[in-house]
Amino acid sequence: MKFDTVTIKDIAKALNFSTSTVSRALRGSYEISAETKKLVLEYAEKINYRPNPIALSLKERRSQVIGVVVCEIANNFFSQAINGIESIAYNRGYHVIITQSHESAEREKVNVEHHASRSVDGLLISLSCETTDLTFLKDLHEKGLPIVFFDRITDEIDTHKVTANNYMGSFHATEHLIFQGFKKIAHITTSPSLSITNERLKGYADALAKHDIPYNKSLIKYCNHSGMIRQEIDELMDELFKQKTKPDAIFAAGDRITTLCLGYLKRMKQKKEVGFTGFTNTKVGELFDPPLTVVKQPAFEIGQTATELLIQMIESKRPVTEFTTKILETELIIRESSLKGVEV
């Protein structure tokens, strides 16, 4: 607490014990007489004593805090993942504090280092799309800070990772569009620097290949800001619809991108003509016009799994050296936006 809070010292003084005795009584140390323990506990209760976690962190280098860094909480995937994180963490006695990078590499670094310097016990991170230099994370990792990557992961650091099966999610979504008869499927995706981008691109490409549809580079558009900036999407879409091979369907690779693309199509009155599906965890896909076909990620479970792995690392007696990468399956929810020739 910040202001004139009761400390262990106050208890000691009032009860005429030493601070160490009080400390021991409070932590339920066995080497203390039942009577003293009772006395201390009761008095502490009475004056509403609360241990100071800052002092504890300084001493113990433990905080019972898990730091989370995501690009943006105003994103259905991440807010759901965070709920998964909290659901596990709180049950295991950890606090969760959340920070946003806003897709800025610099902000991400600042957040991570701030977490570390405030002694979080572990870090859960999904990388920003601007991030290229991972040394700040490597350093922390080498110093022994438990880190689990989720969603946007990296090969450069050897630790636990949890992500959706982006490859298969993308493959199925693309194949679904192909089954519907679409032939010129554009893929609007996130920054090429991200793991998810490549996984999804590969799924898309493999689905095309399987069905002998030529892979047309001009139908692939990267958003370097992953949908943070509307103008970027508008420009990409403009290009897309101005070039000679115009798409007959769009497959968007992210929550924000999906919404922005839809907005664009709506404004251009193309919503009904162009087949559409996207990676998004929105809960209101069925309320859209037309109802939205989506690739839904198990966001909550991803958050949970990442947190379980992290806590496992944190609480492990000896350094963990065996790491897993968990891949959770996505779900393709088919609604009208991807059905060919259906008028609502």
The answer to whether 278 and 292 have CB atoms below 8 angstroms apart is yes
Nearer to its own copies, 178 or 261 (CB): 261
**How many alpha carbons fall within 13 Å on the CB side of residue 149?**
26
Least Å distance, CB 23 to DNA, is: 3
Tally of CB atoms within 10 A around 328: 16
- Taking residues 44 to 73 in sequence order and writing x for each that binds its own copies by CB under 8 A, - otherwise, the string is ------xxxxxx-xx--x---x------xx
As given in the structure block, the two tokens for residue 241 are: 């619809």
Is residue 30 involved in binding its own copies (CB under 8 A)? Answer: no
The answer to whether 112 and 69 have CB atoms below 8 angstroms apart is yes
Tokens 């900036």 label which residue?
Answer: 229
The DSSP secondary-structure symbol of 287 reads G
Q: Which does 286 bind (CB under 5 to 8 A by kind): its own copies, DNA, none?
A: its own copies
Q: Which does 141 bind (CB under 5 to 8 A by kind): DNA, its own copies, none?
A: none
Is residue 5 involved in binding DNA (CB under 7 A)? Answer: yes
Is residue 265 involved in binding DNA (CB under 7 A)? Answer: no
Which residues make Cβ contacts (< 8 Å) with residue 58, sequence separation at least 6? 119
As given in the structure block, the two tokens for residue 121 are: 């016990």
How far apart CA 27 and CA 164 sit, in angstroms, is 42
Is residue 25 involved in binding its own copies (CB under 8 A)? Answer: no
Tokens 């619809």 label which residue?
Answer: 241
Pick from 14, 19, 157, 312: which binds DNA (CB under 7 A)?
19
Is residue 31 involved in binding DNA (CB under 7 A)? Answer: yes
Nearer to DNA, 51 or 263 (CB): 51
Is residue 262 involved in binding its own copies (CB under 8 A)? Answer: yes
214: preceding bond cis by omega (within 30 degrees) = no
The answer to whether 302 and 81 have CB atoms below 8 angstroms apart is yes
Pick from 14, 36, 113, 301: which binds DNA (CB under 7 A)?
36
Which residues make Cβ contacts (< 8 Å) with residue 235, sequence separation at least 6? none
Q: Single out the segment in contact with its own copies by CB under 8 A; choices: 13-21, 29-37, 106-114, 165-173.
A: 106-114
Pick from 13, 42, 46, 55: which binds DNA (CB under 7 A)?
55
Least Å distance, CB 262 to its own copies, is: 5
Nearer to DNA, 17 or 279 (CB): 17
Cα separations in angstroms, 113 against 31, 69, 108, 284: 39, 11, 9, 36
Residue list 70-109, contact with DNA (CB under 7 A): none
Q: Which does 8 bind (CB under 5 to 8 A by kind): DNA, its own copies, none?
A: DNA
As given in the structure block, the two tokens for residue 49 are: 């004593």
Binding site for its own copies (CB under 8 A): 1-5, 50-55, 57-58, 61, 65, 72-74, 76, 79-80, 82-83, 86, 90, 95-100, 102, 107, 111, 113-114, 116-119, 140, 143-145, 259, 262-263, 266, 283-284, 286-291, 344
